[in-house]
A = this chain, B = another copy of it.
Amino acid sequence: MKLTRRVKEILSWYESDNPGTKANLARILMEGRLGGTGKMVILPVDQGFEHGPARSFAPNPPAYDPHYHFQLAIDAGLNAYAAPLGMLEQGAATFAGAIPTILKMNSSNSLSRGGDAPDQAVTATVADALRLGCSAIGFTIYPGSDAMFDQFEEFRELSAEAKACGLATVLWSYPRGGDLDKDAELAIDISTYAAHMAALLGAHIIKVKLATDHLGNKESKKVYEAKGIARSTQAERVADVMRSAFNGKRLVVFSGGAAKGEDAVFDDARAIRDGGGNGSIIGRNSFQRSREDALALLDRIVRIYQGKE
């Protein structure tokens, strides 16, 4: 498989990583219909853990079956499929070699106090990732929460072990908890901070939510206003996140949050593309529709990243 010039350039940014990790990043970047472009669409299915099976799968009952998601990601020509241990175990042999997988190592759940405890349990090991043939491990941190320091340290351990084994790391960085109110969680200054900390923690691929133009921290608000950092359009905010990810030298993918209308999803993808982001992670917006609708939606998103729409 000849790597494209663009993928080689991206790999060159990961200059301290071993060839094993680079090869796994290359596998993700070269897979599917966006293979070789430096853009990615990843299917994550950890909502069963986060919100329970009914909220996750009842809207599209075939999605109760773990094989459904492997097949959807393959048929839609996506770059990778991310899920917790049990979901991968139930399909990893059938789909071995068919699509890069990301083992989601920690998960929260909405049975915790308040339905929303900003903590997670680590539910898998790097050895699991190797035996299941995964290309990367995935981990979630909640910057701002009281648990964040522990989470950073859990990631440090898992990440060091994963890198030594030639695996890549994907870090979901979601500001949440502590002093952050709901507006602050999606504020652009907080979001860029979350992306930057993920980069500092050594993540290879960073996942953040699309931000609003709100400013959540009074110190950084001064800087944004003094320097006139552009944030009125979504594309500008994506560009601001990319800058915060080592001036664009770390891969960043974005999610739009809860399921929403198709046009909003397409607008998001165009903004990510135009702002220089590396792509989308689309969970509920894909697997909670019928398979045909999901394939049609993912097809348009892929075409947007291909610059065709």
Seen from chain A, the residues whose Cβ lies within 8 Å of a Cβ on chain B are 1-3, 7, 11, 13-27, 29-31, 48-49, 51-55, 57-59, 61-62, 64-66, 74, 84-94, 96-99, 107, 109-115, 119-125, 127-128, 130-134, 143-144, 146, 148-153, 155-156, 160, 164-166, 175, 178-180, 189-190, 192-197, 199-203, 217, 219-220, 223-224, 227, 229, 240, 243-244, 246-247, 249-250
One complex includes copies of this chain to the number of 5
Q: Is the CB of A166 within 8 A of B200?
A: no
- Least CB distance from A149 to B in Å reads 4
Q: Enumerate chain B residues within 8 angstroms of A66, measured Cβ to Cβ.
A: 246-247, 249
Contact of A130 among B22, B153, B164, B250 (CB under 8 A): B164
Question: Is B133 in contact with A21, judged by CB distance below 8 angstroms?
Answer: yes
**Residue from the list B59, B122, B201, B250 in contact with A223, Cβ < 8 A:** B59
- Which residue of B is nearest A56, CB measured? B196
Shortest CB distance A198–B (Å):
8
Verify A98–B223 contact, CB threshold 8 A: no
Task: Report Cα–Cα, A251/B131, bound state, in Å.
Answer: 21
Q: Quick check: A96 and B11 within 8 Å, CB to CB? A: yes
User: Could you tell me the distance between the alpha carbons of A179 and B243 in the complex, rounded to whole angstroms?
Assistant: 39
29 contacts between A and B (CB under 8 A): A2-B98, A11-B93, A15-B90, A16-B19, A16-B89, A20-B92, A20-B132, A22-B96, A22-B97, A48-B196, A54-B192, A54-B193, A58-B229, A65-B246, A66-B247, A66-B249, A86-B203, A87-B246, A90-B199, A109-B193, A111-B178, A111-B190, A111-B217, A112-B144, A121-B152, A123-B200, A125-B156, A127-B165, A128-B202
Residues of B within 8 A of A93 (CB): 11, 15-16, 18-19, 22
- Cβ 8 A contact of A160, one of B26, B125, B165, B243: B125
Contact of A89 among B3, B124, B202, B244 (CB under 8 A): B202
> How distant is the Cα of A84 from the Cα of B203 in the complex, in angstroms?
12
B51 A131 Cβ-Cβ under 8 A: no
Q: Are the C-beta atoms of B48 and A15 separated by less than 8 Å?
A: no
Please, which residues of chain B bring their CB within 8 A of the CB of A65? 246-247, 249
B26/A97 in contact, CB under 8 A: yes
B160 and A127 within 8 A (CB): yes
